[in-house]
Amino acid sequence: MIGVVVPAYNREDNLRLLLASLERQSDDRFHVVVADDGSTDGTAALIASMAEQTSWRGRLTPVSCGPHQGVRTGRARNIGAANLPGGTRLLLMLDTDLVLQPEAIASFARAHSENPGRVLYGAVEWLPPMDRGEILGLITTGRVDELRSRVPTAQPTRVEGTFTGPELREDLFGLLAGQPVALRPQWALPLNSAWPLDVYWAAGGFDEAMTGYGYQDMELGERAAAMGAQCVPCPQLWALHVWHPKPARAMEENQRNLDLYLRRHGPNGLSEVDVDWSLWFHYHVERGGTIARSSGGLWAVSGDRAHRIALPEDSWLQRLGHCVHAGLQISPAELGGMTSHGIAG
């Protein structure tokens, strides 16, 4: 049995497209749990209405994650996984903004039978902005291949914060396609991936302390990699990502999750270059940050002493995890050699 888990929060229009593509699968041996994290749009009504349709035959279950308290995607995935039917062996993780090909479930089942115990990664291709009514029409008339032809063939680019274009993970779906390989955290996108349920829980599931957008997937990947988990990249298991703009708060949420990820697992070349040093929490003592005093001023300094941000008052020391008496005496020349990122606020 394949269990599909979909976290949802106020994405009724997108969810309608995903469920339409799931409803038209060539193999119906799967069960869908939609973990609704306190939606206030028509999400709950949509799931209830579709669950009553004979085409689903009891295979669509809504699960409430309680009142909304910020975007808690990892928590919703864990709750959804915990509510899968008994006998579920494979957890297919999807997001509301995906459209599946009609053979997706059958293909995941076949790949799992050939690679038991391994995480399966399907490719994700990123649609440009399109009318959702047009997308729904292509799904319901069996023309998902035609929809796929709308994916730009150039290198992935961002439009209002969301990618458009081909699969991002060229290293994974190139020479490694179809081969069992050691799982790497940077490959661990949750959308369109299938985890043996025992591997998922052995790794601990998603860290529910990470909320909002970004890095929950890589953090789970770190723990799975540490246990020696293997994955198989399956480019034939493609899915389409429906374009939507990212909310303005997304990038700060991304950076807070990155900060937590780096405190827990340490810096690495992939993620440390993504740090936005204008955000004060990246200078925390747990990240190797230090405090510098020079010419009457107070600065927080990054662990590699390449970045600095001015602190308006000593109360910032405690916020950054430092003793109130902390502060290296540093020369103006050394301080001037660091990249300044303004004033913490």
Residue 261: half-sphere exposure toward Cβ, Cα within 13 Å:
29
Question: Comparing C-alpha atoms, which of 4, 81, 91, 78 is closest to residue 47?
Answer: 4
Cα 319–Cα 323–Cα 324 angle in degrees, nearest 5? 85
Task: Give me 129's structure tokens.
Answer: 């902005």
Q: Which one is predicted more confidently, 325 or 259?
A: 259
Instruction: Look at residue 247 in the predicted model and tell me its pLDDT.
Output: 83
Contact, 97 vs 14, CB < 8 A?
A: yes
Report the range out of 55-59, 103-107, 151-155 with the highest average pLDDT.
Answer: 103-107
Confidence at 187, pLDDT banded by 50, 70, 90: confident
Residue 1 has pLDDT above 70, yes or no: yes
Residue showing tokens 């997304």 = 250
Transcribe 236-297 into DSSP letters. EEEEEEPP-PPPTTHHHHHHHHHHHHHHHH---HHHHTT--TTSGGGG-GGGT-EEEEETTE
Radius of gyration of the chain (CA): 22
Q: According to CATH, where is 3.90.550.10 located in the chain?
A: 2-248
Instruction: Look at residue 330 in the predicted model and tell me its pLDDT.
Output: 75
Q: What is the percentage of the chain residues whose pLDDT exceeds 70? A: 97
d(CA 101, CA 26): 9
Mean pLDDT of 168-174: 86
Mean pLDDT of 195-208: 97
Residue 151 has pLDDT above 90, yes or no: yes
3-class DSSP state for residue 19? helix
Mean pLDDT of 271-297: 89
Contact, 27 vs 113, CB < 8 A?
A: no
Residue 12 has pLDDT above 70, yes or no: yes
User: 2-248 sits in which CATH class?
Assistant: alpha beta
Residue 329 has pLDDT above 70, yes or no: no
Mean pLDDT of 68-92: 92
Residue 268 has pLDDT above 90, yes or no: no
Quote the pTM value.
Answer: 0.90
Query: For the chain, what's the residue count?
Result: 345
Instruction: Look at residue 325 in the predicted model and tell me its pLDDT.
Output: 66
- What are 108-124's pLDDT values in tens digits? 999 999 999 999 999 99
- What are 212-264's pLDDT values in tens digits? 888 999 999 999 999 999 999 999 999 999 999 888 888 899 999 999 999 99
Instruction: Look at residue 117 in the predicted model and tell me its pLDDT.
Output: 96
Mean pLDDT of 54-75: 88
Residue 171 to residues 118, 187, 239, Cα–Cα distance (Å): 18, 9, 18
**Range list of H helices, 72-173:** 73-82, 104-114, 132-140, 144-148, 170-173
